[in-house]
Each structure stands twice: as structure tokens, then as C-alpha cells.
Amino acid sequence: MQISNSTELEVEKSKGFKMTLEKNPFILIIGKYDHTLGPRSLFTSIPLNGDNFIRNLLRDALNTKNKFVIIDFARFYAQIYKIEVPDSSARGGKQLYAIIMLRDSGYPFIPILHFKRIEMLFHKIDNKQILSNNKAAFNHFYNEINEIYQKKGEILPVESVNLQIRSGVNTIQGFCEIILENLKKDDYSKEETITHIEMMLDSCSDIIDALEINCS
């Protein structure tokens, strides 16, 4: 696995994806490193603007030696899993494809184990359909992944507890900063201190409840 950070320019170009990802648990992109045309997108689960951004993302992902790559764009991140498909007409007898999951930064990483399952689903597609860029086959592949995500509950519970914990920690952090700032100014009453500490304790209880309910 390789984890990379995007440049400031790439982050600026990626801003448009943030709003889309807030409405979707993930966006699926199927990419290919074409020996003639270079890196290109073959399928996206929803229409996307930003062809240059996608090509750069594919180039960064496909030009690494690692099979599994994570690229951080601050507002969201991309998890990329590379798959080789036999092709007698290609150099080396293989074509290199990339399964890319774009995810909002508020969601945790999808475990690599799930990408291995995704690879198995991709190999279930007939090679002729893959090599001919069959959109219907790719859409069926996306629907299978979406079913795993939405209906089987294999990933969603992890995200649920993650978001609950993040919310609780953010609340505690926020009140700690308020308390410190007011103490520095010597402008903090006993009543305010008690109120803020009680609210932080409530957040601690929420975190404990989330762990007990979702991880028991």
C-alpha cells in the first residue's frame, strides 16, 4: 500500500467533488492505462466534471508500483486498487485497470479486504466485455459493489461509529479550546466552567455508547 498527498493545485481542482461526495457514500471510477491513449476514465458511477483531474489521478495511481494506493485531497480521498487483465494485443500481454473509490474525508478508509472482494467481482466480468469498455457490464459491476455497501451492512456500521466518535471528539476539543482561551484572558466564571465540562462529559458518554452498541 502507498499513501500519497496531493499538491495544492490538485486540491484546488478537486473542490468540485466535495459537494457530490457529501451526497454519496462513494463514487466509483474505472480507469485504464491505455498504451496508445494514456490514462483515461472508462466509467464513473455518476457524471463527473473534471476530465483533467481524473486523468491526473489515474496517472498518479497507475504509474506507481503498488497495487493499492491512497491519495489524500484533504476534502476527500481516493482509494485505488489496480487489476491486470489478460490482453494478447497489449504490451506484456496484459492491460492495467484501476478501481477507484472517491470518498468524503468524513468517512473511514474501506479495508483492503473489501477491495480484494471487489477484484473478484471485476474478474467475473467477461474479459471481452472489459477490453471493449462495455458500459453495461461496468454498471452491473458498480451495482454489485453498491449492494454490498448499502444492503449487507459490511461497511456502513464502521462508518456510523466512526462519525459518532468524530462528532464527540470534536465537541470535546472545541470546549477545551474555549476553556483554555477564556482562562488565558482570566475571564471565565465557575458556572461556565461547570457547564462546559458537563457538556464534554456528555460527549464522552456518547462515544462510549457508540462503541458499546456498534462494537459489542
Residue 2 has pLDDT above 50, yes or no: no
| C-alpha to C-alpha distances, 80 to 42, 110, 111, 117, 210, nearest whole angstrom | 15, 11, 12, 14, 30
Q: Taking residues 124-137, what's their average pLDDT? A: 94
31 vs 174, residue with greater confidence: 31
Q: Tell me the whole-structure pTM to 2 decimals.
A: 0.66
Q: Taking residues 68-72, what's their average pLDDT? A: 87
Round the average pLDDT of the chain to a whole number and report it: 78
Q: Taking residues 32-45, what's their average pLDDT? A: 84
Q: Residue 164: what pLDDT? A: 65
Query: What kind and span of H or E run contains 43?
Result: strand 38-44
Q: Residue 57: what pLDDT? A: 81
Quote the percentage of the chain above a pLDDT of 90. Answer: 18
Q: For residue range 80-112, list pLDDT tens digits in order.
A: 999 999 998 888 888 899 999 988 887 778 777
Integer Cα distance of 176 and 174 in angstroms: 5
Q: Taking residues 14-42, what's their average pLDDT? A: 77
Contact 29, 100 (CB under 8 A): yes
